[in-house]
Structures are given as C-alpha cells and as structure tokens.
Structure 1
Amino acid sequence: MEKIEPELRLFDSSEELSSGLADYVLQVAESAVKDIGSFSLVLSGGDIPKRLGKLTKAPFLRLVDWPKWHVFWAEENVVAKLHPDSLYWQAKECFISKVPLLPAHIISVSHGVEGESAASSYEFSIRQQVKKRTVQASPSSDCPRFDLVLLSLGPNGHVASLYPNDPVLQEESQWVACVSKDGTRESVTLTLPVINAAANVAIVAAGMDLARPFMDVMVSRKPIGSHPAQMVSPQDGKLVWFVDASAASLFLRGNEHR
C-alpha cells in the first residue's frame, strides 16, 4: 500500500484545536463503525484526556454510537488507579465517566502491580481483543490495527512513553513495554510497531513550550531517536498533526524565510 503523507491541521487557538480534534475523532469513529461494526480508540497522557471533554457535550454526546467504542491506552504510569498521575484516572475524570461507554469495553493497564507485570498483562489483554476481532489485525504485520491512536507531543519530542534514545524505540516483537523515566518512575507504553500499525494516528501539539520540539520534529534536524515523534509513521494508515498557532510559530516562521 502506498504511504500516505502526514497531514498538518493548524488552529488559531487551543480551544479551536480541541473542537477540531473532537470532529475528527467522531468522523473516524463513524467510519470505523460503518466499515467494521466497532471503533477502537487509544488514549494517551498530556492534554489528551482534557481535550476529549468536548465529546461529553452537545452535539457529540448524542451523535456518538458509544456502545460500539472500545477504549485502550497508549501509555500508563505505574501508580495506583486513583493516583492523580494515573492516565486512566485522568481520562475517567474528564471523559469516561461522562459518556455511556460500556465498562467491558474499557481495556486499561493493570494498577497496583510492577511495571513488567502490567506491561505483560496489558499485552495479553490486547491480544485477546484481537482474537475476538474487537481490534482488527494488521494486514502487514502481527500487530493490532487500532482505528485511532491519539498522542500528545512532549517537550522533549516524545510521544506516549517513548522517550529520546530509549532502547524501547528499537523494540520489534513486543506490543507493550515497561520503561523507566528518569530512572525512577515506571510507565507502560505501546511500542512503535503497534502505533505504526494503526489505521489513524493523531498527534496534538499546543502551547509555546512545544514550538521548538515541534519545529525539530517537522524539519528532522535531530538524529533519529532523539525526537521519538519523528518515528511515528503509520505503515498502512494516516498521520494527522493537530497544532495550535503557538506550537507552530517557529515552524511557520522558518517556512516564511525559505
């Protein structure tokens, strides 16, 4: 299949970005439900949970076919379920508790266990969903083909819990890995082969503090691996960037001077 070039969607404000992202999620969901009868959505940290709050209000609340949705996570911090740093908890507070998703369709990372154990059990859970065909299998690899993976660009160019120059960036066989950030806190993350097997991937970049990392990712000035977002490249799918004016400022200024 021919590789699709990434799409860049620019917004004047962070608020408009959230509205545009909600429209996009609904569009991809409707298409997936129509084509395969269900929709698999993968969430991550950063500002993603808060932005999904748009889906809990009109008109989205009544437009969405919620029982057809299946929710997963691209990453999770190894903390207690009710810990404020739990990405499950953040998503529940901002989004999940306010919409009629089916509890059995929420596939979260285990809490209260060590990182390696959490990664292993989460990968098993995803494999079960592929076996049940809740999630499609990728036609070109053994990876799951999620309908939509939502990622947030981090200040050091990372996405999910894929940090610069981490050995996990070279992982090819595992679907889920445990990583240690700053040598202390553990987190669980989907690996690049899984992210790149998705039908659709969206990366959100908003705020002036992301202007430099977004510029570096877009112009590829840094060595591969130093900005993991550069390594997100869906094999048989589509990548869309959602960027506000602040995050895009350096990139746009650079293009003006070319």
Structure 2
Amino acid sequence: MAAGAPRGLVSVFPSPPELGASLCQLLLQEEARALASPRRRFALALSGGGLVSLLARELPRAPALRAQQWLLAFCDERLLDFGDPESTYGAYRTNLLSKISIPEKQVLAINPSLPVEQAAEDYARKLKEEFPEDDVPIFDVLILGVGPDGHTASLFPDHPLLEEEEKIVAAISDSPKPPPERVTLTLPVLNAARTVVFVATGDGKAAVLKRILETDEKDPLPAARVQPHSGRLLWFLDEAAAGELTGPVEKHSVL
C-alpha cells in the first residue's frame, strides 16, 4: 500500500463459514444504521466470485433482514448474458436475490446486450439516478474481493483505469482475466463508500495480502489503492488467506 496509508482493521476467521456469518452480522448492523438515518435506505455494492456462496448461505437465514429497503448494485460485471455461469448478477439472481425479497427495481445491473462502452454509460446513468445529490455515489457498504495479482473489481495492475478520476463507471475491453469486456466501478466510487470490506479466503491469496497489507510500495496494487476518504476499511480473511501476515490482526473464534 502507499507509504503511510492506514491498512484498515484485519479480522481473521477459522474458515469461510465463520467469516460469512460475521460478514452477514456486519451487513445487518450497517443496514440498521442506514435505515435509521435520514436516507432510510441501505445502499450496498457487491462483488462476485466466492462472495456469492458466502452470502447466499447466510443472508436468507437472517431474521432481521429488511431487503425491501435495499439498493443493490455490483462493483463490476462481465459483459455476458445473465444466464452465463460467469455473470455476477446472474449468480446472485440464482442463488440469493429470490430468497431475500428485494424488489427487482432496486437491483441495478448492467445491460449486457449493449456494447461495452455503452453498457458502462448506461450503468453510470442508473447510479446517478439513484444518487442524485452525490457527485460520486456513496454506498453504505461496498464488498470487494482481491485477486492473486492484487486486482479488485475489474481494476487490474498497471492498467490506465487506475488513474480514472472523472468517470464513476468505466468500460474495460482488454481485461487480462477473461472475459476481456467488463464494466467496473472506479476508484473514486470505491473510496467514497462509508464502509469498504475486502473478503479473501484460501492460501492462494496469502502472498498478495502480505504484499498489500505489510509492504509500502511506490506503485501500489489496485486493492491497496482502496482507502476510503472518510469511511472505514475492513479486511475479512480466513486463516489460510492470512497465513503469511506477521502484523497485528483481530482473530475470531467459531461463533
């Protein structure tokens, strides 16, 4: 991460199930906070991958969930039909959304039938309509993953999109990770959130997490560039992902 930048609070759990249960507890706490505020809405942005199964296992069982008052968006999306198994929205639609009673009109997704640049512009328009008073959308919670190369959302190392400061949504047509065409939130949106949570599991993430969390780099990896301006930064890791960390962490036992 950038020299002197705070790394956030690192929480380590015995395994993904314990991590998932605590993540859902956090979402319920932040939901309650948001719904008690003048906004009366809980704005959440999710990433895909393994996060889908973590949330699908826990959230439908949460008795206090008030998904009818959610606004749900996605941190990035592949330009694929929603029926494709690699579609983030498609995965959530199949595994979670039908189980938590969130109104369809409150789920913001890309239009995968558009060319990638138009899909990004259309998604940005949808976000601006939902956050009319904000220059940059401010999510209550934004949950990110991190790749073994340090990418997050669809922001990849050494890519020009890391320098984007004007657009809230960007198209990428040369993703080093297939498929090449994607739509992603930009760093200004990620860093505007009230709470950002990185979720990482498995020993395949251990080396890059040590680099992000315990190394100062002149040219930080994309995940290390996520430093909320006024919000908080949390890391939820299982023991395997945290295996190479030597700094202080908050360890959690089985709930």
**TM-score normalized by structure 1?**
0.89
**Residue 44 of structure 1: how far off its partner (Å):** 0.9
Does residue 233 of the first structure (1) align with residue 227 of the second (2)? yes
Q: Distance in 1 between matches of 2:214 and 2:73?
A: 31
Structure-2 change in CA distance of 1:240 and 1:109 (3 Å): same
* Residue in structure 1 matching 2:28, options 26, 29, 46: 26
Structure 2 letter corresponding to 1:48: L
Contact kept, 8 Å, 1:224 with 1:231, in 2: the verdict is no
Aligned to 1:16: 18
**Residue 222 of structure 1: how far off its partner (Å):** 4.2
Q: Distance in 2 between matches of 1:55 and 1:15?
A: 9
Q: Distance in 2 between matches of 1:221 and 1:8?
A: 17
Aligned to 2:41: 38
Contact kept, 8 Å, 1:66 with 1:101, in 2: the verdict is yes
Structure 1 letter corresponding to 2:138: R
**Residue 54 of structure 1: how far off its partner (Å):** 3.2
Contact kept, 8 Å, 1:204 with 1:241, in 2: the verdict is yes
Structure 2, gaps ≥5 residues long: 250-255
* Residue in structure 1 matching 2:203, options 192, 208, 213: 208
Structure 1, gaps ≥5 residues long: none
Aligned to 1:246: 240
Structure 2 letter corresponding to 1:38: R
Does residue 110 of the first structure (1) align with residue 103 of the second (2)? no
Alignment map for 1:68-147 (pairs within 5 Å): 68-131=69-132, 137=134, 142-147=135-140
Structure 1 letter corresponding to 2:97: I
Contact kept, 8 Å, 1:55 with 1:95, in 2: the verdict is no
Contact kept, 8 Å, 2:24 with 2:59, in 1: the verdict is no
Q: Distance in 1 between matches of 2:217 and 2:96?
A: 36
Contact kept, 8 Å, 1:67 with 1:100, in 2: the verdict is yes
Does residue 166 of the first structure (1) align with residue 168 of the second (2)? no
Greater percentage in helix: 1
Equivalent residue pairs, number = 242
Contact kept, 8 Å, 2:142 with 2:193, in 1: the verdict is yes
Alignment map for 1:180-219 (pairs within 5 Å): 180-182=174-176, 185-219=180-214
My pick for the range that moved more, 163-172 or 105-114, is 105-114
Q: Distance in 2 between matches of 1:5 and 1:246?
A: 19
What SS class does the counterpart of residue 203 from structure 1 fall into?
Answer: strand
Structure 1 letter corresponding to 2:77: E
Structure 2 letter corresponding to 1:33: L
Deviations 1:40-62 (A, max 9, x none): 1101122111111134432x1x3
Kindly report structure 1 stretches of 4+ aligned residues shifted beyond 4 Å: none
By relative contact order (CA 8 Å, sep 6+), the higher-ranking structure is: 2
What do you get for the CA RMSD once the two structures are aligned?
1.9
Q: Distance in 2 between matches of 1:56 and 1:45?
A: 15
Structure-2 change in CA distance of 1:159 and 1:5 (3 Å): closer
User: Aligned residues: percent identity?
Assistant: 30
What SS class does the counterpart of residue 233 from structure 2 fall into?
Answer: strand
Q: Distance in 2 between matches of 1:172 and 1:95?
A: 33
**TM-score normalized by structure 2?**
0.90
